[in-house]
Amino acid sequence: MILQGCATAPPPKAEAAPAPVAAAPAPAPAPAPAWKQGMGPDMANSKLAPLPGKMTATPVSEIPIELKLPPGFKIEVWATGMPGARAMARGDNGNIYIGTRAIGRVYELSDNGKERTSRVVVDKLVQPAGVAFKNGSLYVMSINKVLRYDGIEKNPSVAPVDLTAKFNLPPEQHHNWKYIAFGPDGKLYVPFGAPCNICELPTPEYAQIRRYNPDGS
């Protein structure tokens, strides 16, 4: 028996289809203006502002103010970039300390004669509007905390002394942010707001201005 065979040529390979060209990514949507941030979808077309979001500092070029001055006078923006500023205190060496409310920071602003620089002294406090300076020490008072920074102008990284327990602050936030100052008698004067509107005070410790020694006694 004679067998005869032949090799069968393999079928030609199909060419791979070219990979699809990726579409260019869509441009990121422009951020919502500050007054509109925090709105839900149901308020997308509303022009009313919701609860305020995080504060931002307005660039100097966008400050909407025009001033006319008499001949011989000059005006300038002395400092910027510190959102939420509510109160100031001047250190013995000329540094300016700035308290805030909603943003929770205390800033230090220094001027060496050539330029002004700012830094955050402390962050994440509850409405630390109260700042005062006495005998080389910075006092910071928030809703629920009192801190003293001894020699802060000479030692910017100094750790604070916590005086909270001595001042015995009421815990409520309503009307209870502080604007503090030392009087000519060397005492620290501290306001305590009412924790409500048009109401009978729950205890007599509210709606007062108290006077303390610098150590909280």
Question: What's the pLDDT tens digit per position in 102-140?
Answer: 889 999 999 988 888 999 999 999 999 999 999 999 999
Question: What's the pLDDT tens digit per position in 158-216?
Answer: 999 999 999 988 888 888 889 999 999 999 999 988 888 888 887 788 888 999 999 99
Please tell me the distance from the alpha carbon of residue 53 to that of residue 61, in angstroms, as a whole number. Answer: 22
The segment with the largest mean pLDDT, out of 56-60, 84-88, 98-102, 150-154, is: 150-154
What are the distances in angstroms from CA 135 to CA 93, 157, 166?
Answer: 11, 18, 19
The segment with the largest mean pLDDT, out of 26-40, 74-88, 123-137, is: 123-137
Is pLDDT of 45 > 90?
A: no
Domains of the chain: 80-212 (2.120.10.30)
> For position 2, what pLDDT does the model report?
44
